[in-house]
Each structure stands twice: as C-alpha cells, then as structure tokens.
Amino acid sequence: MLFVGEYKHTLDAKNRVFIPAKMREDLGEHFYITRQMNEACLGVYTREEIDAISEKISKLPDSKVSKLRKFFFSQMLDAYPDSNGRIGLPPALIEHAHIDKTAVIVGVGNHVEIWSEELWAKESDPGNMEEIRDLLATIGL
C-alpha cells in the first residue's frame, strides 16, 4: 500500500475533516490517528501499521519506552469515517498539529499525515534541494 498525494480540506464546525476517498479505501473502514512524535502533525495509520509499530515498541525495555507509549497511544483516535468520509478530530490532536481551519492531508508512503495549512507550507518548501538530492543519491536515485 502506498499513500500519495496532497489534499486541502476545511474543518467543519464539529472539527471533522474529510479524508480523500482513495486514502479511505486503502486505510480501510477502521484506522488510527495519533500525534506524530517528531513533527507537529498527525499520523494516520492502518491497523496493520499500528500493529507493526506496537510490536517494535514492545520489544524495547519498559524503562526506555514508557514516555513513548504514553505519547503515542494515549491520544490515539480509533477512527471510523462517517458516511461522508469525515473524521472528527479531538481537541488534543487539533492542538498538537496546530490546525486552525484548513487541514492538509498528505500521503507519505506507508501512512498519511494531517498538517495545518501553515505548517505544511513550511514543511513542503524544498528549501535546500541539495540535501534532498544527497538523500536520493544514497538510495541510488
């Protein structure tokens, strides 16, 4: 499964965001949304991907991953889109991602991310293309 593309959608009055049909199809009827650990955005994962992440975390010593577990799982949303393809985002997730009115839904390979429009504009600015070229070169592209 490969998630691709960029879509902008406005949160409605009930803080619901539309998840594009192709992404919903690949995510399945039930998926998970949580805070990304290294960025101010939300990660959207299939059940299989969450199971794989959980398994990796469970192999680490409890003393090293207690905070990680709490951060990753405590605010996780068990998501079921409504008949219009929308998911209601709780305040804690909206706050983490700094989403004001418009959310940008982005396919990033093995998962989807939800960004505030403002932060996505900064994140998606290629800035130093040399760094991206160097990374691509390390994988032979």
Distance CA 124, CA 92 (A): 24
Which two structure tokens, joined as six digits, stand for 133?
A: 């070229």
Domain parsing of the chain, residue ranges? 6-138
* Whole-number pLDDT of residue 84: 95
Tell me which residue of 31, 30, 139, 44 sits closest to 97, measured CA to CA: 44
Distance CA 54, CA 69 (A): 9
Which two structure tokens, joined as six digits, stand for 111?
A: 């998962």
Q: Residue 35's CB: how many other CB atoms inside 10 A?
A: 21
What does CATH list as the number for 6-138?
A: 3.40.1550.20
Q: 3-state DSSP: the chain helix, strand, coil percent, rounded to 5?
A: 40, 25, 35
In order along its 141 residues, the chain shows pLDDT tens digits of 899 999 999 999 999 999 999 999 999 999 999 999 889 999 999 999 999 999 999 888 888 788 888 888 888 999 999 999 999 999 999 999 999 999 999 999 999 999 999 999 988 877 767 777 888 888 887
